[in-house]
Structure 1
Amino acid sequence: MMEEDELCFPQLFNTSCKKHTRPHSETMLIYIGLSSIALLTASLNQLVIISIAHFRQLHTPTNLLLLSLAVADFLVGLFVIPFQIFLAQSCWFLGDLMCVLFSFLPFITVCASVVNMVFISVDRYVAICDPLHYPTKITQKRVQIFVLVCWIYAVFYSFIILYDNLDQPGRYNSCYGECVINYNGAVDMMLFFILPITAIIILYMRVFVVAVFQARAMRSHIAAVTLQRSVTATAKKSELKAARTLGVLVAVFFMCYCPSYCIALSGYDFTIGSSINTFISFLVYFNSCLNPVIYAFFYPWFRKSVKLIVTLEILQPNSCEANVL
């Protein structure tokens, strides 16, 4: 009888998975930690979404990309992490099909975040390295199309990479009560980690070189000699600060996602409920919580807009016209 109690499905004695019980302290730590991250992630990213969507001064191409990134992070806090809390238990009781369906949202949000990061890097590259043509190259309408394509592609790619699991749900499970998602980690890492990160690093290195060159030119008064080209050669201080901020954003993204992709590349099967899966998931989701914190430290407009939202001044007539820059 004791042996049956240790099974996920006691009635399926020969084919049921065994329960892997954790210490009570570890279980409480997981639930409290994930619940706190979920609440913070959803709340902070909601502030970003409201800020950019409400105040007209913030309706810029760059901020539209940040809005798209905040939406992905908000979905992580609202849906993905709460599901992870449920999945943290040792047995899966919702069936093989639901196991695959629950895995779609994390893949979609991760893919959307990566593509958004690439678009953000391209936006900063054009703004600093080719500021004269920035208004014509990076328009609001064009960025809206990029964001739409980003999310459509994220859904499409997630379907492709998980199709094998969706075609035959549970084919990789070794027993009932297990939820194993198998996908080509090498392909996923190449397309949505190595290539995007390489592109981002190259773009930011180019931005850094241009910024250093401009700073030296200003200090040596070369800008005064080349006055006619100063508009093209000199980036605004705000643009450089935005580049540094988004550089920090990319660095944090890299540190949070690198362990996950390294494990995926090793061919390890992610078993839902395992300790390593819970830790990796926590690290990945923590990135979605850190992004708005980075905004708060580096963007004065975010701090000003949050103050207006928290004090309910946002409900006043014409509050969308408030000066938050």
Structure 2
Amino acid sequence: MFGPLALSNFAVEAFIAVTTALGNALVLWVIIRRQQLHTTTNVFIASLAASDMLVGLVGIPCVLVTSFGLPRNLYGCLLVNCAILSFTQVSIFGLLSVALERFVAIRFPFLYTQYVTTTVALVVSAVNWLIGCFIGLIPLFGWNLGWNDADVCNFILVIDLRYHVYMGFFVFMLGPLLIMFAIYVYIFSVLRRANRQIAAVQVSAVVSSESTHASIVRKEIKAAAKFGVVIGAFVIAWVPLEIMNAVTIWFGSTCIPCIYLGVWLSHLNSAINPFIYAYGNSYMRIALKNTILFWRTPEVHSENTTSVA
């Protein structure tokens, strides 16, 4: 239990937990404090940051507790193992909500302006949390392996991998990811076509009448690209671990060091998301920088308010 691999696991997970909690707490702080960031899209970003922050504050510490074989009862063990499953599922639904929000904004702009408000985004986020937590807690309601003769708490000893792979991975992870992929293919095809049309007009006519539209299209392309990176990072971080879980079910073989690497990679995803948000948003990047350096919110400058979505 306390060999080199276990100690390395504890050190890596502790580092990821602290980085994840602090980074996402900063994102939440900046979004809450800055009125300019109170947009529909940023409601979903805040929800994603909250779920990622809880991965660092609750999910990873629970994983570390189970590395010591604790707690030594079925429902306590199920609860600590289900925590990170719930937060992950909430993140998936949050990513899907962002994709759908961008789709409606581009496909139905008038309906978007009229009906898609921050209040609607808050309600959708609340529903995401309710459904995501319910799905993540399903093992508590009976779909589990029961307690084990070894009398230790371990994910693969209490969580039925058939639930985790067939429902958690194939249905509630791959399903939303495929929908998101289709949405972003559509969004980029529409925006590329609009960009080419604007470029043609600007070559053959006066550019002033098209400059505003061109600016909007470029902003939408940038926003779509940013969330495409977020989704891509999620796929890279989580799919390898889920494939290893599927291999365990189908072939019964398990590479323990590989599992550790897969778990670290999946947890690291929650730590890198704040950097992706900041990289794709100049105002948030400046706000985060000032918050880190001075623990204060920056003054509003017109040059820093280019894009908040």
Higher-Rg member (1/2): 1
User: Which of 193, 201, 206 matches 2:181?
Assistant: 201
Report the AA paired with residue 48 of structure 1: V
What does 1:19-30 correspond to in 2, within 5 Å? Answer: 22-23=3-4, 26-30=5-9
Deviations 1:237-267 (A, max 9, x none): 2222111101000000011110222233345
2:24 corresponds to 1:42: no
User: Would you say the 8 A contact 1:52–1:59 is kept in 2?
Assistant: yes
User: Cα 1:164–1:174, aligned 2, differ >3 Å: closer, same or farther?
Assistant: same
* Match of residue 177 from structure 1: 152
Q: CA deviation at 1:322?
A: 3.6
- Measured in 1, the distance between the counterparts of 2:248 and 2:7 equals 30
- With structure 2 as the length reference, what TM-score do the two structures score? 0.83
Higher helix share: 2
User: Would you say the 8 A contact 2:17–2:60 is kept in 1?
Assistant: yes
User: Which of 76, 98, 107 matches 2:85?
Assistant: 107
User: Would you say the 8 A contact 1:127–1:239 is kept in 2?
Assistant: no
User: Which of 193, 204, 208 matches 1:213?
Assistant: 193
What does 1:72-111 correspond to in 2, within 5 Å? Answer: 72-89=51-68, 91-92=69-70, 94-111=72-89
User: Would you say the 8 A contact 1:124–1:243 is kept in 2?
Assistant: yes
Report the AA paired with residue 94 of structure 2: N
Aligned pairs, number:
291
User: Would you say the 8 A contact 2:13–2:264 is kept in 1?
Assistant: yes
Report the AA paired with residue 135 of structure 1: T
- Measured in 2, the distance between the counterparts of 1:136 and 1:102 equals 42
User: Cα 1:29–1:267, aligned 2, differ >3 Å: closer, same or farther?
Assistant: closer
RMSD (Å) for aligned C-alpha atoms: 2.9
- Measured in 2, the distance between the counterparts of 1:159 and 1:108 equals 7
User: Would you say the 8 A contact 1:75–1:109 is kept in 2?
Assistant: yes
- Measured in 1, the distance between the counterparts of 2:71 and 2:191 equals 55
- Measured in 1, the distance between the counterparts of 2:169 and 2:195 equals 37
Pick 1 or 2: higher relative contact order, CA cutoff 8 A, min separation 6.
Answer: 1
Structure 2: which 5+ residue stretches go unaligned?
A: none
User: Would you say the 8 A contact 1:55–1:322 is kept in 2?
Assistant: no
User: Would you say the 8 A contact 2:78–2:139 is kept in 1?
Assistant: no
- With structure 1 as the length reference, what TM-score do the two structures score? 0.80
- Measured in 1, the distance between the counterparts of 2:188 and 2:228 equals 10
2:246 corresponds to 1:265: yes
Structure 1: which 5+ residue stretches go unaligned?
A: 1-19
